[in-house]
């Protein structure tokens, strides 16, 4: 009985421990839904990051080489703006010059020209290396003479160079298998000579078994691939000595000019040693064993960084500065060579640097034709020398020099077209009787002989002079446009002009409501007569009325109207379309604000346009003739006071003042709207400069 009670208690306690708080199925489902949502969001985030990286692969890449004694860095805003203007590109990645250093990826074959240097170890090398390792595996010691083993060792050593740089984990296993067999073949030579035997620290080691032990120390799982117990014993012996600290180590340092920002560095790069990621300490250092170490920096946002291969069997140098070595090679030696003959269209530099550029171009195949080297001379971002790398013949081509560093390009154009402006008012000459600005200011103005004969079709012909300033993708636009009225389709249409209140002059009646900014004069009232009414009237019998003058607006009647405008916009660039927009060539959108005298109005318009270069006429970097097409659409806002706004559409209205001195106003059902549409097309020719 006691045993049964004890057993039941154990079951109860164990079940309680197993599930102390039973979960409601609804709650469990909720948690499950949240986990799935989180996994989905993480997958979407990774997909978006990958898509962003793919987009950046196609960006132009500018490697900024700092001036040796006056560095400013690749993130300098002025340098970036000036570079974009000089290369006529806006989708640009600015990268530090040390990323150009590719000593690790360079094949150890000096007979290869730069353009034939492979950038990465091909996947085909994996099979070749494994096949070479299998070809000697299991061969008895006495199957060949010592000198024959020596020849076989040299053959395998040459094969091992097919994996000349380990930048990914897939290359580690085949290289490890080959090192096992290389060490075994070297052991069968009975001759401890370099490079098959090297002195590491206190003793001479079988170098390739030692390298195999290094790989196994980084990745212990590789030891499971060793099938020969004798070889396993040798490699495991070296591995244990490494772990016991018998063999010396050294530091690899990622400081540059004695500084290291761990947080900023880790935002940009991942560090790989022999294909595996490693973690640096706060000083940017890490301990490694002597031997072969392949160093690779992978940029997190935009592809590949520098690469280096460190082969060390001595500890004379206590540390090896990877980025500092790259900085000295690229930003001192390379810059010095570029500026030996700085104005050469194709500067002569060592094949070593052309090899680095060729490898870098192949690593970023989508941007291989858009790789640039920029140097701010004396650290001045406004004195930029820029070269483009041509991968077809591994040469550098001068794109811009510091003597022509002005980043703003201009255009000037002339043209005309067709516009529609509903707010325009034209008149026929027969409507006026010596009624214009010249006679008005002399006070010799009479009332109109007939009502305003206006045309509201609004079509007219513009002629323009236009200027634009291009700074990268940004555009500033200004100019003047003259408008000639179109046909009104009536008998006196050959005498058509513009009509508007005269907005300037010396005869202002500012005390009259609504009369400000409009010039008025006193004219004879044709309906005014001497008064001889009855005695009951307020005036005395026979009194003469001498005040027969009325106020009348002065109309400005020019043959052309004038529009002064200013606008801001941007160029459109997608791939090859709009690549020259910084030079003033390509598609654009500009938003304009214009001040028009007739009608007195403010216009707001949007202008999509495109400049097409005239390739038949040769130009240079700054001067390029073009054909310009421009469309517009927008609105006209009539300003106080405008004649059209005060005008009835019926023929019983004559502009003027009422007896109380206020201007006549049309009835609300006959008034023209204050906001009117405007649209049209223009074309012209011009040039950049």
Q: Residues 523, 657: contact at Cβ < 8 Å?
A: no
Averaged confidence pLDDT in the chain? 79
Round to whole Å and give the CA distance between 634 and 601: 13
| Phi, psi angle pair for 548, to nearest 5° | -110, 35
Q: Quick one: pLDDT at residue 639?
A: 72
Q: How many CA atoms lie within 13 A of 394 on its CB side?
A: 19
* Torsion angle of C-alpha atoms 258, 262, 268, 271, degrees rounded to 10: 90
Higher-scoring residue by pLDDT: 509, 426:
426
* CB atoms inside a 10 Å sphere around CB 221: 8
Q: List the one residue out of 270, 316, 315 whose CA is nearest residue 295.
A: 270
| Phi, psi angle pair for 530, to nearest 5° | -65, 140
Give the per-residue SS3 of 556-591: ECCCCEEEEEEEEEEECCECCECCCHHHCCEEEEEE
Query: Once rounded to an integer, what is the mean pLDDT over residues 418-437?
Result: 55
Query: Once rounded to an integer, what is the mean pLDDT over residues 399-421?
Result: 84
Q: How many CA atoms lie within 13 A of 113 on its CB side?
A: 6
Residue 7 has pLDDT above 90, yes or no: no
Most confident of 20-24, 62-66, 431-435: 62-66
What confidence category does residue 617 fall into, taking pLDDT thresholds of 50, 70 and 90? confident
Q: Quick one: pLDDT at residue 490?
A: 39
Query: Once rounded to an integer, what is the mean pLDDT over residues 658-674?
Result: 52
Query: Once rounded to an integer, what is the mean pLDDT over residues 605-612?
Result: 95
Give percent helix, percent strand, percent coil of the chain, each to the nearest 5: 30, 30, 40
Tell me how far CA of residue 661 lies from CA of 445, 525, 527, in angstroms: 18, 14, 17
**Dihedral sign computed on CA atoms, order 522, 528, 531, 533:** negative
* Torsion angle of C-alpha atoms 498, 500, 505, 510, degrees rounded to 10: 180
Q: Quick one: pLDDT at residue 1?
A: 47
Q: Quick one: pLDDT at residue 511?
A: 42
Residue 34 has pLDDT above 70, yes or no: no
What confidence category does residue 290 fall into, taking pLDDT thresholds of 50, 70 and 90? very high
Q: Quick one: pLDDT at residue 507?
A: 41
Most confident of 68-77, 503-512, 607-616: 607-616
Round to whole Å and give the CA distance between 576 and 50: 23
Residue 341 has pLDDT above 60, yes or no: yes
pLDDT tens-digit map of 239-280: 999 999 999 999 999 998 889 999 999 999 999 999 999 999
- Rg (Cα) of the chain, in Å, rounded? 43
Q: Quick one: pLDDT at residue 631?
A: 96
Higher-scoring residue by pLDDT: 618, 494:
618
Residue 107 has pLDDT above 80, yes or no: yes
Q: Quick one: pLDDT at residue 621?
A: 67
Query: Once rounded to an integer, what is the mean pLDDT over residues 379-398?
Result: 90
Indicate the burial class of 211 (C-beta count within 10 angstroms; 0-12, 13-18, 19 or more).
buried
Q: Quick one: pLDDT at residue 424?
A: 62
Indicate the burial class of 196 (C-beta count within 10 angstroms; 0-12, 13-18, 19 or more).
buried
Higher-scoring residue by pLDDT: 133, 77:
133
* CB atoms inside a 10 Å sphere around CB 207: 23
Query: Once rounded to an integer, what is the mean pLDDT over residues 570-575?
Result: 80
pLDDT tens-digit map of 119-168: 999 999 999 999 999 999 989 999 999 999 999 999 999 999 999 999 99
What confidence category does residue 505 fall into, taking pLDDT thresholds of 50, 70 and 90? very low
Residue 86 has pLDDT above 60, yes or no: yes
Round to whole Å and give the CA distance between 685 and 625: 8
Residue 448 has pLDDT above 50, yes or no: no
The residue length of the chain stands at 689
- Asked which of 187-201, 309-323, 421-435 is least confident by mean pLDDT, the reply is 421-435
Q: What residues pair up with 384 in beta bridges, in sequence order?
A: 376
Q: List the one residue out of 335, 343, 273, 267 whose CA is nearest residue 300.
A: 267
What confidence category does residue 303 fall into, taking pLDDT thresholds of 50, 70 and 90? confident
Query: Once rounded to an integer, what is the mean pLDDT over residues 335-340?
Result: 91
- Asked which of 34-43, 155-164, 302-311 is least confident by mean pLDDT, the reply is 34-43
Percent of the chain at pLDDT exceeding 70:
71
């Amino acid at each position: 009985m006691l045993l049964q009670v004890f057993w039941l208690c154990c079951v109860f306690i164990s079940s309680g421990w197993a599930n102390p708080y039973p979960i409601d199925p609804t709650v469990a489902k909720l948690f499950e839904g949240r986990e799935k949502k989180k996994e989905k969001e993480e997958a979407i985030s990774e997909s978006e990051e990958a898509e962003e990286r793919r987009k950046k692969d196609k960006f132009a890449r500018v490697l900024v080489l700092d001036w040796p004694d006056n560095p400013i860095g690749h993130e300098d805003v002025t340098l970036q703006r000036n570079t974009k203007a000089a290369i006529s590109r806006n989708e640009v990645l600015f990268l530090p010059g040390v990323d150009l250093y590719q000593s690790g990826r360079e094949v150890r074959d000096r007979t290869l020209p730069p353009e034939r240097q492979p950038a990465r170890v091909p996947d085909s090398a994996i099979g070749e290396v494994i096949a070479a390792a299998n070809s000697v595996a299991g061969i008895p010691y006495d199957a060949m003479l010592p000198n024959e083993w020596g020849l076989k060792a040299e053959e395998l050593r040459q094969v091992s160079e097919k994996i000349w740089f380990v930048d990914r984990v897939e290359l580690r296993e085949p290289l490890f298998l080959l090192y096992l067999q290389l060490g075994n073949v070297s052991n069968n030579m009975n001759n401890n000579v370099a490079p098959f035997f090297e002195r590491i620290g206190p003793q001479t080691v079988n170098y390739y078994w030692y390298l195999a032990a290094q790989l196994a120390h980084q990745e212990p799982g590789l030891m499971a691939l060793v099938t020969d117990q004798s070889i396993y014993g040798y490699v495991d012996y070296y591995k244990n000595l490494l772990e016991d600290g018998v063999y010396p180590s050294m530091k690899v340092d990622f400081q540059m000019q004695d500084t290291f920002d761990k947080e900023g560095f880790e935002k940009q790069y991942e560090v790989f040693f022999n294909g595996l990621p490693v973690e640096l300490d706060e000083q940017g250092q890490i301990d490694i064993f002597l031997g072969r170490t392949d160093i690779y920096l992978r940029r997190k946002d935009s592809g590949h960084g520098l690469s280096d291969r460190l082969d060390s069997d001595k500890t004379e140098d206590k540390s090896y500065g990877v980025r500092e070595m790259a900085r000295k090679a690229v930003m001192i030696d390379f810059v010095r060579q570029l500026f030996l003959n700085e104005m050469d269209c194709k500067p002569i530099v060592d094949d070593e640097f052309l090899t680095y550029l060729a490898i870098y171009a192949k690593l970023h195949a989508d941007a291989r034709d858009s790789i640039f080297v920029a140097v701010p001379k004396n650290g001045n971002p406004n004195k930029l020398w820029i070269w483009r790398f041509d991968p077809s013949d591994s040469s550098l081509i001068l794109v811009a020099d510091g003597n022509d560093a002005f980043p703003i390009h201009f255009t000037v154009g002339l043209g005309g077209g067709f516009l529609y402006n509903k707010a325009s008012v034209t008149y026929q000459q027969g409507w006026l009787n010596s009624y214009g600005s010249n006679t008005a200011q002399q006070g010799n103005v009479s009332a109109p002989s007939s009502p305003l004969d206006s045309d509201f079709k609004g079509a007219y012909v513009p002629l323009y002079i236009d200027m634009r300033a291009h700074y990268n993708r940004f555009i500033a636009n200004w100019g003047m446009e003259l408008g000639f009225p179109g046909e009104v389709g009536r008998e006196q249409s050959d005498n058509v002009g513009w009509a508007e209140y005269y907005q300037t002059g010396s005869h202002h009646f500012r005390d009259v409501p609504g009369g400000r900014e409009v010039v008025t004069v006193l004219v004879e009232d044709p309906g005014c007569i001497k008064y001889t009414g009855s005695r009951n009237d307020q005036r005395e019998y026979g009194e003469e009325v001498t005040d027969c003058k009325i106020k009348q607006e002065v109309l400005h009647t020019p043959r052309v109207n004038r529009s002064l405008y200013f606008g801001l916009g941007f160029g459109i660039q997608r791939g090859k379309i709009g690549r020259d927009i910084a030079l003033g060539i390509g598609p654009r959108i500009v938003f304009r604000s214009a001040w028009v005298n007739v009608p007195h109005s403010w216009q707001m318009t949007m202008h999509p346009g495109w400049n097409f270069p005239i390739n038949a006429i040769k130009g240079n970097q700054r001067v390029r003739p073009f054909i310009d097409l421009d469309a517009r659409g927008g609105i006209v806002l009539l300003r106080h006071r405008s004649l059209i706004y005060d005008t009835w559409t019926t023929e019983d209205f004559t502009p003027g003042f009422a007896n109380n001195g206020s201007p006549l106003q049309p009835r609300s059902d006959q008034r023209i709207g204050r906001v009117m549409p405007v649209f049209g097309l223009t074309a012209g020719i011009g040039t950049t400069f």
